[in-house]
Structure 1
């Protein structure tokens, strides 16, 4: 792998719709992001969705989004909106709110 490839970063925002609050979705997402070495955040929204940012290698970001699309245990995912954004160099992963 070339040095430029190892430094390539991707950033994606997601909004998960369905039964996603009160089912450990945020905590499961935080743990998966940590396992993948991603930075970003995840939060519940007043609309009943879960929103988050993943930032890191393109492969790790895609793996995290695959996790979100499936959802943890009791979650029921209806749809996931995804938006590519410019990486900001985030450090660490947080539960917000």
Structure 2
């Protein structure tokens, strides 16, 4: 699931940057169907179709959460490395 999320975020950033706003919804819908055809559960993304602002916010929220997870992992590893010394 994490790989699917990474891929969706990457694709959406490309779509957002190179596709006119009026075409984004249609393209986002097609992208989700491709993922669904390959077994991904895209229910949490389907509710965002047609709402470019909400989809963009969802992507930004995911990016922030991912950064926090990496920060927590770094702090966790740093804590245990200090204890071993």
Higher relative contact order (CA 8 A, sep 6+): 1
Mark the structure with the bigger radius of gyration. Answer: 2
Q: Which structure's residues are more often strand, by fraction? A: 1
TM-score exceeds 0.5 = no
TM-score between both structures, scaled by the size of structure 1: 0.38
Q: Which structure's residues are more often helix, by fraction? A: 2
